A and B are shown apart, each in its own frame.
Chain A
Amino acid sequence: MKDDPKKIIGRILFGLLLLLLVLCSIFPFLWMISTSFKYDTQVFTNPIQWIPDPVKLDNYRKAWSEIPFALFLKNTALVAVAGTFLQVVCCSAAAYAFAKMEFMGKNILFMIFMATMMIPWHTIMIPQHMLMGRLGMHDKLATLILMQAFGAFGIFLLRQFFMGVPNELREAAQIDGAGEIRIFFSIMLQQARPGLAALTIFTFITQWNDYITPLIYLNSPKNYTLQLGLKMFATQYTMQYGLTMAGTLCSMVPLFVVYLIFEKQITKGIVFTGMKG
């Protein structure tokens, strides 16, 4: 009974459908990997040669020697790590104040902060760029990092988590004589760990992949991040397909590793923020 032929056919068809969907979503990656091991004359052949013959490993060596890959990687890591750290620290402090403290102008300030989520960054990028110029902050990685001190989304997200922490915990600590700063570091941050994790990962990925901000702020190649370097490199070596693909792949690997490690938290975080709007 349980092996009804109709059901078996259904299952096979479903399996084929799944395979097709997987191919649709990952075929550019497969093509990229295959191309990165090819000589340029092997790239646009009909039919597609999925397993390169002969295999050219030289593209990877060349990608590392012809572009200052290590330098770009270092810049990107610096911006992503320091920026994320700043964002998480600043936003969690502010979010805690908004969630648990009473102070003058609390509601109006929170509303103003949240209103900035409605304004596209692109709307203010030009005046922001001019102001940074006046302050002598062009072509500096610090500009990109300091920009992370404020994030409406981060404040919103973490406030949700802090509000979920019972007030009794805070009151008990206050009776024990703990000040706000002690309470914040030793109790509240512990309690909001899932929120902190989600914000850390999101900010890190966004910072790592950011293109337009480095594009308008960084001028000298020694300050370039991976994304800028990649673009420069792809424009310079337009016709060197294998080399371009090898370089692009190398730039993607670190983030893929981060994603695979934190897959669960990322998925949860997206669902949490996406469904609440």
Chain B
Amino acid sequence: MAKQISAKRQKAIKRNLTAYIFILPCLAGFMVYYLIPIFAGIGFSMTDYTGLSIKNIHFVGFDNYKNLFQNAYFKKAFMNNLIYTLLYTPITLIVALFFATVLNHVKRGVKFFRVCFFLPYVTSMVSVAIVWRLIFNPTNGPINILLGNLGISNPPKWLMSTKWALYAVIIVAVWKTFGYYMLILLAGMQTIPEHLYEAAAIDGARAAQKFWYVTLPLLSPTIFLCIVTLVINSFQVFDLVNVMTEGGPGTATNVLVYRIYEEGFKNANMGFACAIAYFLFGVTLVITLVQFIGQKRWVHYD
């Protein structure tokens, strides 16, 4: 009897051991690169750690968080990030929807068009930023030549202007990423059964009505996922800003991750930078939760 139990236990131990051998590499990576930093970050966000010497570190409680909104740079960056999110999300979604709708009607050469539209997405942010910095050149850059040809005599100075720089960054971000959402939306459109469109046609629906009353409601779960992803990504914009404008001119394109980077690595303000970092996490978490609660009002699941 006892022997049987111990044999069973041995087998269980062996089973657990095998499983943990399979998980071990991931678990080790998780501990070192994620788990410890997650808790260390919370800890450091409550100190005045500069990043230079661990000896002069003091516990400051929630002061860093309280000081966030006293800090002019942070406030400006947060405002910029909100503008960025509020414009980037809907514009990218609409552009992606439009391209997907058009692509859905293409009969020949679908692959060619798909590759053309997706190419910006596979290009690195750094390359994209370098090219567009020249395209936005205020004197005789291609964009302003085009605007000139359209009869606009005083085109914006784009990256040189505090008023336009953020919009220029948004334009590039939309161009760079819409292809990804287009692919997802296109796949969603292709799952809509043809007979629903035929029924709508019998009822006398025009193309626009079909889109509004058939495509959009049936696509709403996919659209919802796209919006969630877009918003999360919009709060993590960094590469584009770092290469195109370095947060400038002035503070015109400063965003949250750019603040984390500058406070942490340039201003030796690690504690404060960690507070911004957790603020970023909190904001995305809250917005995502709100979206999941709000979806019941407009997302149609079968």
Residue B192 is within 8 A (CB to CB) of chain A in the complex: no
By CB atoms of chain B within 10 A, which of A89, A127, A215, A227 has the most? A127
CB atoms of A25 and B175 under 8 A apart: yes
**A interface size (C-beta, 8 A):** 89
Contact check, B25 vs A127: say whether CB atoms are below 8 A apart: no
Chain B residue contacts of A18, Cβ below 8 A: 102, 106, 113
Q: Let me know if B152 is at the binding interface, CB within 8 A.
A: no
Smallest beta-carbon distance B277→chain A, Å: 4
User: Assuming the A-B contacts A44-B140, A275-B184, are A103 and B37 also in contact, with contact meaning beta carbons closer than 8 angstroms in the complex?
Assistant: no
B32 sits at the interface (CB 8 A): yes
Assess whether B77 is interfacial by the CB under 8 Å rule: no
A97 x B23 contact (CB < 8 A): yes
Binding-face segment, B2-10, B82-90, B124-132, B156-164: B124-132
A104 interface hit (Cβ, 8 Å): yes
Which residues, 1 to 52 on B, are CB-close (under 8 Å) to A?
15-16, 18-20, 22-23, 25-30, 32-34, 36-38, 40-41, 44, 51
Closest to B190 in A: A271
Q: Does B68 contact A (CB under 8 A)?
A: no
Determine whether the beta carbon of A103 is less than 8 Å from that of B30: no
The contact string, 1 if C-beta is below 8 Å from chain A, for chain B 98-133, is 010010011000010111111110111111101111
B222 within 8 A of A: yes
B265 within 8 A of A: yes
Pick the most buried of B142, B265, B284: most chain A CB atoms within 10 A of its CB: B142
Given A103-B20, A123-B280; A94-B25 close (CB under 8 Å): yes
Contact across chains for A21 and B22 when beta carbons are under 8 A apart: no
* Residues from chain A with Cβ under 8 Å of B184 in the complex: 270-271, 274-275
CB-based contact A277/B225 at 8 Å: yes
In chain A, positions 20-79 with a C-beta closer than 8 Å to chain B are 21-22, 24-29, 31-32, 35, 43-48
Q: Is the CB of A130 within 8 A of B236?
A: no
Residue numbers in B under 8 Å from A245 (CB-CB): 131, 134
B264 at the interface (CB under 8 A from A): yes
Q: Which of A1-9, A164-172, A190-198, A247-255 contacts B (4 or more CB under 8 A)?
A: A247-255
Chain A contacts of B142 at CB under 8 A?
Answer: 27, 31, 48
CA of A230 to CA of B243 in the docked complex: distance in angstroms?
10
User: Separation in Å of the A238 CB from the closest CB of chain B?
Assistant: 9
Point out the residue from A227, A260, A271 that lies within 8 Å of B183, measured CB to CB.
A271
Cβ B44 vs Cβ A127 within 8 A: yes
Query: How extensive is the interface on chain B, given as a class?
Result: 35 or more
For residues 104 through 155 of chain A, which have their beta carbon under 8 Å from a beta carbon of chain B?
Answer: 104, 106, 109, 113, 116, 118-131, 146-151, 155
The residue in chain B whose Cβ has the minimal distance to the Cβ of A276 is: B225
Interface assignment of B235: CB less than 8 Å from any CB of chain A: yes
Asked if A203 is at the interface of the complex by the 8 Å CB criterion, the answer is no
- Tell me if A93 and B243 are in contact (CB < 8 A): no
Q: Return chain A residues, CB-CB under 8 Å to B173.
A: none
CB proximity of A91 to chain B, nearest CB, Å: 6
- Decide if B119 touches A208 in the complex (CB within 8 Å): no
Q: Would you call A274 and B260 a contact (CB within 8 A)? A: no
A29 touches B119 (CB 8 A): yes
B19 and A97 form a contact (CB under 8 A): yes
Pairwise interchain contact B41-A31, C-beta atoms closer than 8 A: no
What's the Cα separation between A231 and B235 when bound, in Å? 22
B145: interface (CB < 8 Å):
yes
Interface string of B133-152 (1 = CB under 8 A from A): 11101011110010010000
A residues near B (Cβ < 8 Å) are 14, 17-18, 21-22, 24-29, 31-32, 35, 43-48, 89-91, 93-94, 96-98, 101-104, 106, 109, 113, 116, 118-131, 146-151, 155, 179-180, 184, 205, 208-209, 211-212, 215-216, 226-227, 230-231, 234, 241, 244-245, 248, 251-252, 255-256, 259-260, 263, 267, 270-271, 274-275, 277
Beyond the given A131-B37, A275-B187, please list 15 additional residue pairs across the A-B interface where CB-CB is below 8 A: A24-B175, A28-B132, A28-B135, A48-B142, A91-B26, A109-B23, A120-B284, A131-B32, A149-B26, A212-B242, A215-B242, A231-B242, A241-B134, A255-B122, A270-B180
Q: Which residues of B contact A (CB under 8 A)?
A: 15-16, 18-20, 22-23, 25-30, 32-34, 36-38, 40-41, 44, 51, 99, 102, 105-106, 111, 113-120, 122-128, 130-135, 137, 139-142, 145, 148, 175, 179-180, 183-184, 187-188, 222, 225-226, 228-229, 232, 235-236, 238-239, 242-243, 257, 260-261, 264-265, 270, 273-274, 277-278, 280-281, 284-285, 288
7 pairs of A and B residues whose beta carbons are closest in the complex: A149-B29, A150-B29, A103-B19, A209-B124, A274-B184, A44-B140, A97-B22
25 contacting pairs across A/B (C-beta < 8 A): A18-B102, A31-B131, A31-B135, A43-B134, A48-B145, A90-B29, A102-B15, A116-B34, A119-B34, A120-B284, A123-B281, A125-B260, A126-B270, A128-B37, A147-B29, A216-B261, A227-B126, A230-B127, A234-B130, A255-B122, A259-B122, A260-B115, A270-B184, A275-B184, A275-B187
